[in-house]
Amino acid sequence: MTIHVRAPATTANIGPGFDCAAAALDLWNELAVEEVNGEVDESHLGVQAFARLASTAGKRFRFTDRIPRERGLGSSAAVIALGLVAGALAAGKHPDPEELLAEGVELEGHADNLAAALAGGVCLTWENRIARVADRLPAVPIAIVPETTVSTAAARNSLPDSVPHADATFTAGRAALLGAALAQGSPELFAAAIHDRLHEPYRSAKAPLLDAVRSDLPKGALGATLSGSGPTVIVWVREESAAASEAELASKFTEASVLRFAVSAEGASAL
């Protein structure tokens, strides 16, 4: 018997939603687990995730990676989600997203990415809980993906131990507004919400595209955010402007990949 599963890319830390807000994107990694004796790479994150729920003995793992690594699009979360869902299925269990999040968050380290990869749609996360608040966002995400990479650990180390009270207050207010924008599906509230002073100012040195994009947004854009730890930047545009905005961004940022996504309502699941 072969278990075949897929898991989506994600964009996390949406504006002020640092470590708590993420959305699944329609770019997929896959895993096939076969009942074939062979060598198993126990150091692989996906295999480690699988091993938390089922034995790896007598198995062969074949991963198909389409999500760019170390670009802020949740590649490690997708790999872990693949292993968790496949492990649950191999153990004869229903792959419940919250239960799998609790199993895998130690491997991933960032619950927001993993929650969206497991549950799909737009998720808010706290204390290993998932609130799946919407199937979609009130804007179309267009990713500008540079060739350079940023490790999550390096990006995390760039953050200060404390921030000014005014910056914390600003970001808390925008985070509350983000929740309202998601609940109402309002592009106007979303545009007002996606501003941050908690993490993006400190990570921008390793993600120079962010300031460049923000200084010259295409017509119809609601704003731009750093995706995960970066260096990928997400430009959020109105649906009716998506095609024109994608073309404009591709003409401006010729040394990066410009990818228009839809938010995936489906998370990691069997094929």
Whether 124 and 146 map to the same domain: the answer is no
End position of a domain, from candidates 135, 160, 183: 135
Distance CA 248, CA 261 (A): 16
Query: Is residue 267 included in any domain, yes or no?
Result: no
Range of the domain at 184: 140-260
Whether 126 and 206 map to the same domain: the answer is no
Total residues found in the chain within this entry:
271
Angle at 155 between CA 142 and CA 104, to 5 degrees: 85
Distance CA 173, CA 13 (A): 15
Nearest CA among 229, 10, 50 for reference residue 130: 10
Whether 105 and 217 map to the same domain: the answer is no
Residue indicated by tokens 């699988």:
50
E-assigned strand segments in the chain: 2-12, 21-34, 60-64, 122-126, 129-134, 140-145, 221-226, 233-237, 257-260, 269-270
Query: Is residue 265 included in any domain, yes or no?
Result: no
Whether 154 and 175 map to the same domain: the answer is yes
Q: Are 239 and 192 in contact (CB under 8 A)?
A: no
End position of a domain, from candidates 77, 106, 135: 135
**Tens-digit pLDDT profile for the chain (271 aa)?**
899 999 999 999 999 999 999 999 999 999 999 998 878 999 999 999 999 999 999 999 999 999 999 999 999 999 999 999 999 999 999 999 999 999 999 998 889 999 999 999 999 999 999 999 999 999 999 999 999 888 877 778 889 999 999 999 999 999 999 999 998 999 999 999 999 999 999 988 888 899 999 999 999 999 999 999 889 999 999 999 999 999 999 999 999 999 999 999 999 999 9
Whether 145 and 253 map to the same domain: the answer is yes
